[in-house]
Amino acid sequence: MEIPSAVNSGVEGLRRAEQSVAETANNIATQVVTPEPEGEEVLGAEQALSLSEELVNLRVQEFTAKANAQVIQTADEVIGSLLDTSA
């Protein structure tokens, strides 16, 4: 196992999670809200489902980012252990 590869994989995973969060946030922000005559705004059934899917995607990306951060942390610990052992 190459430690730099593990770190690079973790960083790349974090970058992808960040991009996905940005895309999802944009999708949520651009949801079309239909005004009701009484002044209340509501989402249609299809829009509500889409919004729910986007919110779930945000949670998935949160866990993806945490997992990749753990990969980086573990690789850092392994590098530290290897340096301690070889010193």
Residue 46 pLDDT > 80: no
11-28: pLDDT as tens digits: 999 999 999 999 999 998
Query: What is the 3-class SS of the chain, one letter each residue?
Result: CCHHHHHHHHHHHHHHHHHHHHHHHHHHHCCCCEECCCCCEECCHHHHHHHHHHHHHHHHHHHHHHHHHHHHHHHHHHHHHHHHHHC
Residue 45 pLDDT > 90: no
Give the pTM: 0.71
